[in-house]
Amino acid sequence: MTQRGMRFSIDGFDGHHAGLLVAYLLQTKRISGAGHTSAINVFQTVLTFIAEGNLSKHVLDFTRPDVRESKSRRDGSCCSYLESSLDTVMQLSSVIADDMWDFLCPVTLNHPIPSSDGSFNCFWRVSGSAVDLLEREARRGLKELQSHTDTSCYDSLFMRKMGFFGCHDSFVHIPFDGKCLPFLKDSSLEVVDKDVEACPPLQAVREASIEQRTAFSTILAHCLPQQHLSARCVQLATTALGDRVQVIHSLVQWVNRPADGPTSSDSSSPSSTPIVTSSDPTSAHFPMWAIDRSADRSFDFVVSLGILLNNDKQERRVDKGPTTADGSLLTDLAADPHAVSGDNPTIAQNFDELKRFRDFWGPKVELRRFKDGSIVEAVVWDQPVTATAAAVRGDESARGVPSVVEQVVRYAFGRHLTAVCGLGGEAIRPVCTQLDRFLQEVSPLSSDRTTRRAVEALDSLRGILTSKVKELPLAIESVSCVSPALRYTSVHSVPPHPIVLSDMGSSVNAGSNKKSAASSKSMREMLKKHAGTSMSLLCPPLKVLVQLESTGKWPTNDLQAVVALKVALLLRLRQELSKQFQVTNFSAGIAAGIASNF
Amino acid sequence: MSVIHADSLDVCFEGFIFRLSLVASDEVESAAVRSLSDLAGDSALRSMAVARSLKTPPLHHSSVRSLKSEHPCYSGTVRLFTVWASKHCFTGEARHACDMLIDRSPTRCQMRPESFHRTSIHPSIAVGHLCTELIELIVAHEFLHPSSCTPPGSILTGFYRSLLRVAEHDWESEPLVVDLSGEISTSPSVMLDIVTNFRASRSHGKERSSDGPQVDCSNPAWNASFLDAMNVPMYVVSSADKPHKYWPSLAARSPEKMVLTMIAKSARSSAMRLMQWIKQPQHDEMSTDELLAIMSRRDAVMSRSDVVLRFHKSLFCRDPARAPPFARLNVYANTPVSEAGLHSLTVM
């Protein structure tokens, strides 16, 4: 857990929880306490227990060791232990919990830590996201252990440090201002100008609708603010991004205010809210204050969402709304009161989905007709454009369009968490595709489209060489690429050169007047198109290996003879290309000179 | 349109120039190489030369293409890592430019990059650089063997993990094995061969430095010069090295030990700064400057260089619109067609 950055997060498992878990497995005889079980077997048992989803599906009851997982969980949010014979451990846990509660919850109301039947949930601060992350890691670790019989999995399991930010593909940081929370939790509380001066984000709170504030208040009424805000962010991002993502996890981190005390301008300035950093990992996620000051209980915190992207669908630009099975338009059906009245439960269910879809996306929803003939309500996102491309196109703002994931996240959080994120989601910071865009700015030509054009050209040439060139003494078996520019990894992809493109298929020396005239015309058009510009006369070649068929007639032990034969074959190949496809050379002197050397 | 060279044929096709090199069967190529005086008595080096130039590159190419189709962000990660290495002066881009200037033939279309290895300009430029293939393999390792994580799903993650790999891998005592085709992981004997080869080359290097016995006699094919050639600081083996009997075919292009230390240090520093940048809750408007700071730090190499040669960007960038002063055609509406023919091009 330490190597995976789980132990010291606010809402994650820690060493105490791990100790309790192993104690439970001992108590329920899943682990033998006789002393002959090796550590790796105990570890494997613990991983298996977690990987099977026991933490998220069942209540673990210490009081009745003979009955395993006695109750089904109701909300699926966290795990419960009842007080048991493990008095020392539980007392310690209670003390910690009281301290944490007193410390973490300056604004909340009642909380569910001690339940009505006297039981105590010692995993009370572990979020569902942390449980999910732990289960995924357990499954992966178990797979590693089972696929390697030797000790080769030791490094990957225990030695490589890869925390929350190393394990996910993209991130969204949502900063929460601690001063907003008292206002957000009470929808009837008026925000006055004085408060807004003290805390600029409260302007958004004041402008938020009563419904939004009431909804927020309801969330905050039941648990720690950061726990529920974190869960809310995960739920919101999951709904908004849909199948663009595999899974989303959250991490809550405290943010220290400046040492000299917060001011209205400082609290809104990004540079004034650095995240707490320390060489000690245990203090990395917890608030800190000077020893001669009293504890500030209104710490800001940041909810960081870690997203595992779905490669195939992350760039999808359309989110379609629900449709009926027969493709009829739900909007029309909605206008018919009989259709939605409940006579047809399927339509009613679809209509509910449509309503939820509209509520979620708001004014972004539009009715669209698609190529397959379906007419559905959908949300369409803009095509991502880099700032450079936008400037070239003459866009005045020249700021470009962010990635689809960033557009979705900003819109969804701006719409549903306006008080915190701003109307357009300005307050959040997606870390998604900045590096992709940076790469495009640095090397605008290194696009897959440019490479694909070269690959397609080579495929055409391969077809000609392997099947259409007939008169070579040795047949061509295969044509292999070796240039990085033909495998999409070159920083400097090779675009088609205008001169080569215009002169392609020309016949300067072959005497074909018709071809020559066509070539000249094509070249003139190219020159007219590029008039007023400078054109590079450098042209990089793309290296290709041509495998010849096997034969026993090659000379042996004589490199010069082999090279001479290859030159002869190349000359013949050039001749055949010229004869069959009307391509000729433009500097025959070079070839003649080389040929005469042998 | 086609142009013949001493060992290849340039064919102009659909706007591109393809340089075709003919390859005969293995026996013919090996026999031809055997006739070279400097490799005549060394069968291991001879077969390695053939495999390295003719067999491994196509395998490597097809494996990388497959990986790219499986992981769409792989190619972007390689490109970004190449930009990082280039900004830190750890790539061999300058090598190609130097080659053009030093080995330039009076006749156009006859420039031979192969001759540059004889010229020593700077360790990090001439031999001690990260070539594209090495970068592709290092990045591929993170996609194929992601340890306890899932394979990277974004350029950001792939780049960060690749930096960490370069910084944290124990290059001295462990080979970096990249199983591009899945053959190595399914065959324990192959893995054993790789480890045995690695240990033989490393132990040979240690014996040589301590003036001990020079040759490891466990395999008759491994003579001193062969083990010398294989004992490289960055020992990377992939499944594309199968024709090479799983010796590193990129050994000749590995960075030198001193340069590797510099690369690892820069990678560690960049990874730390990148992580700080990722964790920032705000500061979005500063991201471009911060990214530039992460990506470019030339001090490590520049401070150690006595002479710095600066090359025109167009020698690296293949954009026809970026014309260098020495190979530029100013196009006007009345430019005669004869000035813009293929004969005016310089193939580099």
For residue A358, give Cα distances in angstroms to A35, A207, A316, A413, A520. Answer: 60, 22, 19, 15, 59
Size of the A and B interface in Cβ pairs below 8 Å: 393
Tens of pLDDT, residues A480-532: 888 888 988 888 788 888 888 877 554 444 445 666 676 677 788 888 888 88
Of A16-20, A420-424, B232-236, B299-303, least confident by mean pLDDT is B299-303
Q: What is the mean pLDDT of residues A371-381?
A: 85
Question: What is the per-residue DSSP string for A516-542?
Answer: HHHHHHHHHHHHHHTTTSEEE-EE-EE
Band the pLDDT of A331: cuts 50, 70, 90.
low
B140 belongs to a structural domain: yes
CA distance B162 to chain A (A): 11
Q: Check pLDDT > 80 for residue A282.
A: no
Q: Is B5 within the bounds of a domain? A: no
CATH at B64: 1.10.1410
Under the banding of pLDDT at 50, 70 and 90, the label for residue A147 is confident
SS3 category, A493: coil
Tell me if chain A has a CB within 8 Å of the CB of B314: yes
Of the candidates B115, B95, B109, B48, the one whose C-alpha atom is nearest the C-alpha of residue B255 is B95
Residue A279 φ/ψ, nearest 5 degrees: -70, -20
Is residue B235 a part of any domain in this protein?
Answer: yes
Q: How far is A505 from chain B (nearest CA, A)?
A: 7
Which residue from A minimizes the CA distance to B336? A524
With an 8 Å Cβ cutoff, is A543 touching chain B?
A: yes
Q: Chain B contact for A553, CB < 8 A?
A: no
pLDDT given for residue B66 in this prediction? 92
Q: Given this model, what pLDDT does residue A84 score?
A: 37
What average pLDDT does range A443-450 have in this prediction? 71
Classify the C-alpha dihedral A186-A187-A193-A198 as positive or negative: positive
- pLDDT of chain B along its 348 residues, tens only? 556 666 788 888 888 888 888 888 777 777 766 665 555 556 667 777 777 778 888 999 999 999 999 998 899 899 999 988 888 888 766 555 555 444 443 333 333 333 333 333 443 444 457 888 999 999 999 999 887 788 998 999 999 999 999 999 999 988 999 999 888 888 888 888 899 989 988 888 777 766 555 544 556 566 777 788 888 899 999 999 888 888 888 877 788 888 899 899 999 989 988 888 888 877 555 566 677 777 777 666 677 778 877 777 766 666 777 777 777 888 887 888 777 777 777 777
Contact between chains at B24 and A540 (C-beta distance less than 8 A): no
Please check whether residue B216 is in contact with residue B203, taking contact to mean a CB–CB distance below 8 angstroms. Answer: yes
Q: Which amino acid makes up residue B260? A: L
Answer yes or no: are the C-beta atoms of B251 and B230 closer than 8 Å.
yes
Is the torsion defined by CA of B121, B123, B126, B132 positive or negative?
negative
Percent share of chain A, pLDDT over 70: 61
Range of the domain at B59: 53-91+129-311
For residue B155, which residues of chain A lie inside 8 Å, CB to CB? 433, 435-436, 439
Interface of B with A in 156-185 (CB under 8 A): 156-157, 159-161, 164, 168
Shortest alpha-carbon distance between residue A494 and chain B (Å): 6
Residues of chain B with C-beta less than 8 angstroms from the C-beta of A558? 32, 35
Coil vs helix vs strand at A158: helix
> Is A279 at the interface with chain B, CB within 8 A?
no
pLDDT at A85 over 70: no
According to DSSP, the β-strands at B236-238 and B176-178 are parallel
CB A427 within 8 A of CB B284: no
For strands B236-238 and B346-347, give the pairing.
unpaired
Does any domain span residue B39?
no
Cβ B18–A439 below 8 Å, yes or no? Answer: no
Single-letter code of the amino acid located at A238: T
Long-range interactions of A179-186: CB distance < 8 A, separation 24+:
A179/A267, A179/A298, A180/A205, A180/A419, A180/A420, A181/A107, A181/A220, A181/A225, A181/A298, A182/A107, A184/A213, A184/A216, A184/A217, A184/A220, A184/A419, A185/A107, A185/A108, A185/A109, A185/A216, A185/A217, A185/A220, A185/A221, A185/A225, A186/A217
Decide if pLDDT at A209 tops 70: no
Q: Is B306 exposed, middle or buried (0-12, 13-18, 19+ CB in 10 A)?
A: exposed
Distances (CA, A) of A186 to A416, B278, B291, B293: 17, 34, 42, 45
Per-residue confidence (pLDDT) for residue A298, from 0 to 100: 58
pLDDT tens string A33-77:
666 778 888 888 899 999 887 777 777 776 654 444 434 444 444
Per the DSSP assignment, residues forming a β-bridge with A308 are A247
Quote the CA–CA distance of B144 and B151 in Å, as a whole number: 7
Q: How far is A431 from chain B, CA to nearest CA, in Å?
A: 7
Neighbours of A237 (CB within 10 A): 21
Reported as a pLDDT band with limits 50, 70 and 90, residue A277 is very low
- With 60 as the cut, is the pLDDT of residue A432 above it? yes
8 A C-beta contact, residue A246 and residue A179: no
Q: Where are the beta strands (DSSP E) in B212-335?
A: 236-238, 328-330
pLDDT of residue A538: 82
Summarize the confidence of residues A315-338 as an average pLDDT. 67
Question: Hey, is B214 helix, strand or coil?
Answer: coil
Query: DSSP label at A274?
Result: P
The residue whose two tokens read 């969204």 is A172
Cα A473 from chain centre:
54
Q: Does B106 touch chain A (CB under 8 A)?
A: no
Mean pLDDT of the region A445-451:
74
CB atoms closer than 10 angstroms to residue B22: 21
CB contact under 8 A, B75 and A488: yes
Q: CA-CA distance, A499 to A476, in Å (whole number)?
A: 29
Quickly state the pLDDT bin for A178 (edges 50, 70, 90). Answer: low
How far is it, in rounded angstroms, from Cα B276 to Cα B268? 13
Q: How many domains does chain B have?
A: 1
Do B154 and A546 lie within an 8 Å CB cutoff? no
Asked if B348 and A311 come within 8 Å (Cβ–Cβ), the reply is no
In a domain, B33, yes or no: no
Domains defined for chain A, CATH in brackets = 1-160 (1.10.1410.10), 168-317+381-444 (no CATH), 318-379 (no CATH), 495-538 (no CATH)
B79 φ, ψ to 5°? -65, -40
* Interface membership of A460 toward B (CB under 8 Å): yes
pLDDT of residue A106: 28
- pLDDT score recorded for residue A102: 35
Chain B residues lying within 8 Å of A571, measured CB to CB? 4
Contacts 24+ apart (CB under 8 A), A29-37: A29/A65
SS (H, E, C) A342-386: CCCHHHHHHHHHHHHHHHHHHHHCEEEECCCCCEEEEEECCCCEC
H-helix or E-strand spanning residue B164: helix B155-168
Largest CA distance in chain B: 74
Taking the C-alpha atoms of residue B59 and residue B70, their distance in angstroms, rounded to an integer, is 17
> Do A538 and B346 meet the contact criterion of CB atoms below 8 Å apart?
yes
Highest mean pLDDT among A115-124, A315-324, A361-370, A587-596: A361-370
CB A515 within 8 A of CB A583: no
Which of the pair, B323 or A115, is modelled with greater confidence?
B323
Mean pLDDT: which of A151-160, A276-285, B103-112 is highest?
A151-160
Q: What is the spatial distance between Cα A402 and Cα A409, in angstroms, rounded to a whole number? A: 11
Within the 53-82 window of chain B, which residues sit less than 8 Å (CB to CB) from chain A?
Answer: 54, 57-58, 61-62, 64-65, 68, 71-73, 75-76, 78-80, 82
Residue B279 lies in a domain: yes
Q: Is B347 on the interface with A (CB under 8 A)?
A: yes
Residues of B in contact with A458 (CB under 8 A): 16, 18
In a domain, B317, yes or no: no
Q: Which residues of A touch B345 (CB under 8 A)?
A: 497, 499-500, 537-539
With CB atoms and an 8 Å threshold, state whether B153 touches A530. Answer: no
Distance CA A329, CA A375 (A): 6
DSSP, residue by residue, A216-272: HHHHHTTS-HHHHHHHHHHHHHHHHHGGGEEEEEEEEEEEPPPTT---HHHHHSGGG
In this prediction, residue A303 carries a pLDDT of 87
ipTM for the predicted complex comes to 0.81
Q: How confident is the model at residue A274 (pLDDT cuts 50, 70, 90)?
A: very low
Q: Are strands A245-255 and A300-309 parallel, antiparallel or unpaired?
A: antiparallel
Among B16, B58, B295, whose Cβ lies nearest the Cβ of A496?
B16
The closest alpha carbon to A578, from A511, A499, A480, belongs to A511
Best probe of the A interface among B282, B295, B322, B338, by most A CBs < 10 A, is B282
Q: How many CB atoms lie within 10 A of CB B312?
A: 15
Q: Which residue has the higher pLDDT, A592 or A377?
A: A377
Residue A38: strand, helix, or coil: coil
CB contact under 8 A, A493 and B28: no
Query: In Å, how far are A42, A271, A276, A558 from A281, measured between CA atoms?
Result: 26, 23, 11, 67
Closest in A442, A501, A537 to B344, CB measured: A537
Task: Tell me what pLDDT residue B67 has.
Answer: 93
Counting Cα atoms < 13 Å in the Cβ hemisphere of A284 gives 15
Instruction: Give the C-alpha separation, B3 to A574, whole Å.
Output: 8
Q: Is the pLDDT of residue A127 over 50?
A: yes
φ and ψ at residue B307, rounded to 5 degrees = -125, 135
Q: Does residue A263 carry a pLDDT above 70?
A: no
CA distance A504 to chain B (A): 6
**B74 in a structural domain:** yes
H or E element in which residue B194 lies: helix B188-209
Q: Do B155 and A436 touch (CB under 8 A)?
A: yes
A459 and B305 in contact (C-beta within 8 Å)?
A: no
Q: Tokens at residue B183, please?
A: 């053959």
The answer for residues whose C-beta is within 8 angstroms of residue A435's C-beta and 6 or more apart is: B80, B155, B156, B159, B291
